[in-house]
Chains A and B, each alone.
Chain A
Amino acid sequence: MTKTYGFDTLQVHAGARPDPATGARQVPIYQTTAYVFRDAEHAAALFNLQEVGYIYSRLTNPTVAALQERIATLEGGVGAVCCSSGHAAQIMALFPLMAPGRNVVASNRLYGGTITQFSQTIKRFGWSAKFVDMDDLEAVKAAVDDDTRAIFCETIANPGGYVTDLRAIADIADAAQIPLVVDNTTATPYLCRPFEHGASLVVHSTTKYLTGNGTVTGGCVVDSGNFDWTASGKFPSLSEPEPAYHGLKFHETFGALAYTFHGIAIGLRDLGMTMNPQAAHYTLMGIETLSLRMERHVANAQKIANWLENDPRIDFVTYPGLDSSPYKDRAATYCPKGAGALFTFAVKGGYGACVKLVDSLELFSHVANLGDARSLIIHSASTTHRQLTEEQQRKAGAAPEVVRVSIGIEDADDLIADLDQALTKATA
């Protein structure tokens, strides 16, 4: 049997053996653009994808590779490609699957920026998205047509409060012979591993919890290695000869590693959305403590959500860890260690009270980010979900009368005290 390790061990060790050149125990920042070839034959073999090795840092870099292996391992995938941001990872994830005229069926509860990317920007590639309510399985099935090449959803949808029934959606994707792509940013592999629930691909904004300290933007595409790219004929980029590599067929040549090889050899090579080694370093630092931080994030979130729900100044709280949440059972199934640390709440007094609350907080930072060690707050409707119509905002859970919080790892009592004083000012 191959030895298996626990999550806490993997988050520290995976991908990070001592540096072969120096013995350095921490992963060095390989700040280099290019790598020397042994000889002309070595160079040719590398360029033809006949050997794995370093050529040029747009494609591969040792520091970034360590992070890729670590995330792939934590998710239980076969390989991963890191990118310059979470948004880059989404394009990189879809790129091998899509072509002009093809579409992705996407949840209508997604980070607002993703809804914009999918509803506007990808149209310029000739791709399109169909947004559906992932709780309406019949609607999801009906949306999938002959041109659909993926289903896309978030585990715990930003701005929070909603957990996707991954298994039910994965079954629909399976039946249509297309991959389910899950944005696992808000749950992290510590709380949920979508591959265990039938997803084929996972994307991350590593900007968030994986880095965990609000220092660098980054993204990652992880492949489960379980999808058969040849079976349906729907994915010629992976099953058919690739002219740029002398007619090499990725799936035939690389088997379960085909999608990741394609991500490097075509995606990074031609789209160039590469993560830089400095960013990989910060994220490697952060990910070492992922489980410890997530435990505190979810414990704090649960405590604060309970407190808010029992406060008369609050209309409702959407945290899926609360008994009042319609997604409590689903959260227990998919995120048994905790329902994340991202949720919204409505303040009595509506939009005006929300704005005043945000302005009156001292510890909470008013920023457009989530997954920082610090607690964050934002009024989604006027910021992250601003480009959406009010109807889209409501569907996405970002109605004008709610604020979104990303609960940090500070003392929960200090955060509650801060909310308490600010609510007093906001509802005075």
Chain B
Amino acid sequence: MDYSLTLLKRVLTEAKTVAVVGVSSNPVRPSYFVARYLRLKGFRVIPVNPGLAGQELFGETVYPDLKSIPFDVDMVDIFRRSEAVPPLVDEALERWPSLKTIWMQIGVEHTEAAAKAEARGVTVIQNRCPKIEYQRIFGELRMGGFNTGILSSKL
């Protein structure tokens, strides 16, 4: 899947509140440090994990599932196996008519579920990490010698 920098930039600047499904409380798991990173960059991060429900992470209550979140989110970020994606997509589409983006992490993909969400006008990103894309777009990856695809003579 190829996503243009323009699209990824739009998704990551439009989203203010992100529900992270499958978040871990172990600081060395990617789901934890990706969520922590997004929080650091000013996103409101809503942790979702039935095993941790009621606890607090990133200054927010952990919810057992998407339908229990009592307010709107712009984006759902999925840290679950690909097989677990379809019911999550159904749940998200039902819960938030105004949902903007469903994001599936590296290694997570589901063509049919993605098509269903897209048919509802939701942007779907698969097999990518929002932290890495944020770092690419806003220049941090340059520090590691990665190809950011960004050329500019502006400060």
Contact = CB atoms under 8 A, between A and B. Distances in A.
Interface of A: 1-3, 5, 9-10, 13-15, 17-18, 20, 23, 25, 45, 48, 50-54, 60, 62, 64-69, 72-73, 77-82, 230, 245-248, 252-255, 257, 260-261, 264
B70 interface: no
B144 A79 contact: yes
A18 B154 CA distance: 7
Interface string B90-128: 000000000000000011000000000000000000011
Closest 3 CB pairs of A and B: A68-B145, A246-B28, A255-B106
Contact of B4 (A1, A53, A65): A1
Contacts, number: 113
B128 A10 contact: no
A51 B30 CA distance: 11
23 contacts: A2-B5, A10-B151, A13-B153, A15-B142, A15-B145, A17-B152, A52-B143, A53-B143, A60-B145, A62-B143, A65-B144, A65-B145, A68-B145, A79-B144, A79-B145, A82-B145, A252-B107, A253-B106, A255-B128, A257-B132, A257-B146, A260-B146, A261-B144
Contacts of A2: 4-6, 149
A65 B143 contact: yes
Interface in B60-108: 106-107
Interface string B130-155: 00100100011111111111111111
B36 A264 contact: no
Nearest to A65: B145
B37 interface: yes
Contacts of B154: 17-18
B21 interface: no
Given A17-B139, A246-B28, A255-B127, 13 more contacts: A5-B151, A14-B147, A15-B142, A17-B153, A17-B154, A50-B33, A50-B37, A65-B143, A69-B146, A69-B148, A79-B146, A80-B145, A254-B129
Nearest to A20: B155
A69 B147 contact: yes
B145 A77 contact: no
Nearest to B28: A246
B107 to A, nearest CB: 6
B116 to A, nearest CB: 24
Nearest to B26: A246
A52 B140 contact: yes
Contacts of B6: 1-2
Contacts of B152: 13, 17
A247 B127 contact: no
Nearest to B32: A50
Contacts of A52: 135, 140-141, 143-144
Contact of A252 (B30, B135, B141, B142): B30
B123 to A, nearest CB: 16
A230 B107 CA distance: 10
Nearest to A265: B144
A72 B145 contact: yes
A49 to B, nearest CB: 9
Contacts of A255: 106-107, 127-129, 132
A189 to B, nearest CB: 12
A25 B145 CA distance: 18
Contacts of B147: 14, 69, 72-73, 77-80
B47 to A, nearest CB: 17
B142 A69 contact: yes
Contacts of A5: 151
A14 B33 contact: no
Most chain A Cβ neighbours within 10 Å, of B4, B149, B152:
B149
B86 to A, nearest CB: 22
A25 B30 CA distance: 36
A45 B144 CA distance: 15
